[in-house]
Structure 1
């Protein structure tokens, strides 16, 4: 007769369930972000390529999601293993898809082996969503131009590299974060990394037909529904507060919140900073939009404010967050205009991430310099002592360089291989004709309306006169 499994009730207390629900809500928020991104894509992608663009983003998302479950989480968790004297190999062994801790029930796992197991297991799902989101964001920069096979290979590789990057740059005891790089929301590995890849891939893929100059089949590139894109923007706004909660760690007494970087913070301050980031970006974005008569800044403005403040949601005071967000759309506007004048067909990642993202990481390094953070709660001495490090501009610049450099290097290697194997670019004529019809036999309403009318027989025409 088999022995009954030992029960560890301290792993499944009511307090632990509350934390499980907090982190579980983050996965809901992340999925809402995916929905919002797909709505923005549906509102801004040419109708003839819309289904293909959407389905490639979805497949890319789930390739990243699956790859993260298979191998990615072990990289991020390794920072805490190393803190305890273990290794990266130990973390991957425990947390790959077939690993012991990835497949253990919390109530049957000794807290001496791994306390709070449920929370870490939920974090796999949470971070797997963001591994998929990185691929969705990358696709915005290569949509309609990159071969599906090349993009899918890129999605798998990007997930592995971004997972390793998250170990270095997001948390509290990774190599860069423990040394002083401050990034509350993962701006570096979620936003700057795909932007770094886009810096390499976009010039290789070239312009889409009709974007900058007329093509015989595409006189101009027309977005089908800006209203739908605006609705997607609000959907993202609704989902991100739950993600913010999942970037906080909670310790006794009761529910003391510190940020994932181990900086002092609170739920209320982080939430208010988030709201004011959108508000500040929206105000300046609206001003720019009305002055330039370009609708794009009404969408880019709130996003720019959010991206600029995301790295410092935990440490800014609300008035500081608002002021920094007010100037964020100006950086996006400058990058956007720079790309337009040079015929660079990338209007999302570069203005938001190269512009507002870098600006935000630099500003938190300047405004909050000296703020204690890093290490781990409860450790009082040594290399991982709680809040032993301080925010500083030098480490912020180092983190920016590492994240963009990792993306660019990954893309250089991938492009070299893909161009010599499956190919990289969709032929321009196929882009112009429409990938929905070419690949899936679908025609847009716009195309159907433009078809020549059926000829009426001459005898019937005479009877109608």
Structure 2
């Protein structure tokens, strides 16, 4: 009998279909940041609308440049001590071949890095919702720069980088429950504990000025999240990406319904803000779990997260921290719920053979999830608070109280979101525009 011949595994080849799919997913994730800007922008008062939009949009600029310079290398470069990566060839992205494939996949490195860039952009933008109405724009821009460098890039390596400690431990985070949502939610809590409450918190009405904008933003987030979640399987043709797509829709629907039901029982009405917030809570919760659970499990994850997040948003009034737009209540709590529920609902039929408690797997995975969740939470909370404290003591994090009361849009951006005078496009009066406005006013008076 002839000796057996062992054939080497065929090296992956570039797939045009997977490459195109991932570029589309990258564009969808990019759209989520403007969607977030509209979502947050509609939730604040008129006088803070532009500032809220800009706090998201500036992340598109800052994080993109950091990612090219060193962020991608820190997050996905060669592991060092299970804590951080580094690859000097990736600094500036000038030494990456156009057709060089990402390790073990059928897509170019450039496609993988731009997909991950969009995650890095939206994560600090999520934090901004907790700080509405009161933070200097220059301080916020510097905070994003520092936070991305010392918090997001290392945590992304822990969770997704080869050799990262959470990755090696077996913590499941399909698309960012820990690295994105818990990370951002904990950072938001850390910063608001340092900078304090808005003027008039728990005294003045601080209702959303435009619920249609909120619903538009929520819709854009829901749409973009299909790229965020399904794309995180990087185009592999084994059905897991499709499962994640289905579970994203299912969990979001279940969370929205659960939030509305809780709201009706607790407050007596079905609100549009509740529908939008419930949908986002479901999107957050399914992000880490969607590749590991069945669609029935996704309903459970979404419904549980919807109720928990609806309950959590009221904690700020009980404990006295001013989380302006409920980043802690939705992203931190939703991220924790989705990550931990993997330990209960993982079916063993999706991204891995890992089974949760309800599928006969015991609590092994649950404890792994706890390790990932609480390590990221503690690190982000503490480091973010330290960064905010240092910035507050040096350049000052908050605008003056008079500017906050009068409106941060005028103080920080010299513009207003809406022109109620009918004299122009909302720009502040300047040496050029003031005479024109005065002349127009005289004509009207005449």
Bin for the TM-score computed over the shorter chain: 0.7 to 0.9
Match of 2:138 among 149, 156, 162: 149
Matches within 5 A, 1:114-125: 119-125=108-114
Distance 1:100 1:363 in 2: 41
Contact 1:308–1:360 (CA<8 Å) still a contact in 2? yes
Distance 1:195 1:88 in 2: 22
1:127 aligns with 2:116: yes
Aligned residue in 2 for 1:261: none
Contact 1:274–1:313 (CA<8 Å) still a contact in 2? yes
Aligned residue in 2 for 1:364: 342
1:290 aligns with 2:264: yes
Aligned residue in 2 for 1:58: 57
1:180 aligns with 2:175: no
Aligned residue in 2 for 1:233: 218
Aligned residue in 1 for 2:244: 270
Contact 1:74–1:92 (CA<8 Å) still a contact in 2? yes
Match of 2:285 among 308, 327, 332: 308
Contact 1:180–1:374 (CA<8 Å) still a contact in 2? no
Aligned residue in 1 for 2:360: none
State the SS of the aligned residue for 1:96: helix
Aligned residue in 1 for 2:315: 338
State the SS of the aligned residue for 1:246: helix
Match of 2:208 among 215, 219, 223: 223
Contact 2:84–2:158 (CA<8 Å) still a contact in 1? no
Aligned residue in 2 for 1:100: 95
Unaligned runs of 5+ in 1: 1-9, 215-219, 258-265, 376-389, 455-460
Aligned residue in 2 for 1:423: 396
Contact 1:69–1:124 (CA<8 Å) still a contact in 2? no
Structure 1 residues 421, 11: CA separation in 2 closer, same or farther (over 3 Å shift)? farther
Aligned-pair Cα RMSD in Å: 3.2
Contact 2:33–2:56 (CA<8 Å) still a contact in 1? no
Measured against aligned partners, the alpha-carbon deviations of 1:45-64 in whole angstroms (never above 9, x if no partner) come to 21112122222321133212
Contact 1:131–1:162 (CA<8 Å) still a contact in 2? yes
Contact 1:178–1:374 (CA<8 Å) still a contact in 2? no
Unaligned runs of 5+ in 2: 1-9, 354-362, 423-437, 439-444
Measured against aligned partners, the alpha-carbon deviations of 1:371-397 in whole angstroms (never above 9, x if no partner) come to 89789xxxxxxxxxxxxxx96111111
Aligned length in residues: 401
Contact 1:68–1:163 (CA<8 Å) still a contact in 2? no
1:436 aligns with 2:426: no
Q: CA deviation at 1:330?
A: 1.3
Aligned residue in 2 for 1:195: 185
Distance 2:314 2:36 in 1: 23
Aligned residue in 1 for 2:33: 34
1:397 aligns with 2:382: no
Distance 2:391 2:124 in 1: 17
Q: CA deviation at 1:400?
A: 0.8
Moved more, 235-244 or 312-321: 235-244
Distance 1:202 1:339 in 2: 11
Moved more, 189-198 or 343-352: 343-352
State the SS of the aligned residue for 2:115: helix
